[in-house]
Structure 1
Amino acid sequence: MLSALFGCSQQGPDASSTAAAPSGADPGAAKAAAVTAAAAAHPAPAFAETAPGIAIDAVPGMTLHRDFTRSYLAMDRWAVFAPPDLPGTPLAALVLDGSNEVTSAELRVGRSDDPAAIAACLTPSAEATRPTRSVDIDGVAFTHFSASDAAMSHYVSVDSYRAVQHGRCYAIDLVVAGTQPDVYDPPRSPPFSNDDAKQKLSASLNAVHWVD
């Protein structure tokens, strides 16, 4: 996704390679310098697995966390509603700024290398409330479904995306969760509406890409 800009002059495409260089200059050193310049021009992702794997760019208005511990109903499993006996690894979460115990919103990315998880990767959870459909995320087809749950004044609403890539099951969950405001005395105002949170989470999918 990231493309390097090596300059803004109007020279032809071979200008940088044909420019005068000291006799005996090391081509390897020149290439290393170009790579360094590209890295400086384009910040590293907020999170990235060792290649091959998944990465997440920074998103304004969202903060990166390395745990999934903010929701009572969504638990801290690698994928929302994943069975407790299905192992996996929570990788990273982009949490919408302002999230609190009344309403929180986050994009979660998890992964499982377990054969059973890979085999069942594209199967919607029992909590799914809408039919599945295919969604492209950076060139990879993900199975998308929606799910929700509620209990003891708590609620969670999830848009889930699942794909098998690089021989692993990847789970991306857009989670809006919280507590009904009227259980507080006095009632508390949520930091943002659920609709606004869902729109921002959906837009943040553009931050997900692959490291090959």
Structure 2
Amino acid sequence: MKTIALLITGLTLLSGCDRGETPAPAPTGAPETSMAAPPAPAPSATPEPATRDWRSEDGTIALTYPSALAPSASTSTSGPFPATYFTPEGWRAMSDAAPVGPGEGLVRFSEDTRIAGSVPRVATEILQIGRSDDADVIADCLTRGLEGGNGSKQPDRTIGGVRFTVYRNGDAGMSHQLSSTDLRAVHKGRCIAIDRLSSSVPAVADGDARPDRTSAEVEKDFDAVLASLTFE
């Protein structure tokens, strides 16, 4: 009987094993994830130079100007400068209504600006350089066109090793105002004219004008141009 009981017990245990749950398979590790290569960095833009160089076609006059400025397109080739409200078309400014005389406009920088004050104004600031080798022009280069009704002689100024006669002039009318500093020199048989003009109107007279720069900022740029000038 004991043998039969043991046999029954063994069969019961084997039966229990058959009914047991199938063991879970061993983990095979975390699923693999694809690692895409990072995108290549975009090429960095070439920084704009702080200054640029300009030289006359014959190489006798050269200057450096801040990149914030740009020579007027109309002066890409030598020719007359466009007229302003108070000054005629030509290669130099004239404050006494005298004829401009033959000559060539070399380079002009022109910037629209704003002027703060009790009556805000918008202005066109101009720096231009011209020259002439005409004998009649050279004869009175240091006075012609400079002695306007409001003109005043200023101390001479040396630029690029050349001594310039300096006059300051101004005019006003129909809400327009002009102030100018006009420099003249005779150098190696040529009359050289440098004119610094500021022509302005009240801001309310030009409601669409929204200049980004102030006249003081542009004045610093023009001073840098004059300081860089060289003459051969």
TM-score, normalisation: structure 2: 0.61
1:165 paired residue number? 187
Conservation of the 8 A alpha-carbon contact between 2:152 and 2:169: yes
2:162 paired residue number? 140
SS at match of 2:71: strand
Gaps of 5+ in 1: 1-42
Q: 1:92 aligns with which of 101, 107, 125?
A: 107
Q: Distance in 2 between matches of 1:190 and 1:179?
A: 13
Q: Distance in 1 between matches of 2:100 and 2:194?
A: 19
Alignment of 1:112 with 2:132, yes or no, is: yes
1:154 paired residue number? 176
SS at match of 1:132: strand
Instruction: Measure how far apart 1:49 and its partner are.
Output: 3.4
Conservation of the 8 A alpha-carbon contact between 2:176 and 2:200: yes
Alignment of 1:200 with 2:221, yes or no, is: yes
SS at match of 1:126: coil
2:36 paired residue number? none
Q: Distance in 2 between matches of 1:93 and 1:177?
A: 15
SS at match of 2:65: coil
Bigger CA radius of gyration: 2
Q: Distance in 2 between matches of 1:194 and 1:54?
A: 26
**1:91-136: per-residue Cα shift (whole Å, max 9, x none)?**
111233x459941112100111121211111116122533232111
Instruction: Measure how far apart 1:81 and its partner are.
Output: 0.9
Conservation of the 8 A alpha-carbon contact between 2:124 and 2:198: yes
User: What is the aligned-residue RMSD (CA, Å)?
Assistant: 2.9
Q: 1:49 aligns with which of 57, 63, 69?
A: 57
Q: Distance in 2 between matches of 1:156 and 1:126?
A: 15
Q: Distance in 2 between matches of 1:207 and 1:173?
A: 16
Q: Distance in 1 between matches of 2:142 and 2:100?
A: 17
1:59 paired residue number? 66
Instruction: Measure how far apart 1:161 and its partner are.
Output: 1.0
Gaps of 5+ in 2: 1-50, 115-120
Q: Distance in 1 between matches of 2:216 and 2:169?
A: 15
Q: Distance in 1 between matches of 2:105 and 2:216?
A: 25
Distance 1:58 1:188, change over 3 A: closer
Q: Distance in 1 between matches of 2:166 and 2:107?
A: 19
TM-score, normalisation: structure 1: 0.66
Conservation of the 8 A alpha-carbon contact between 1:103 and 1:177: yes
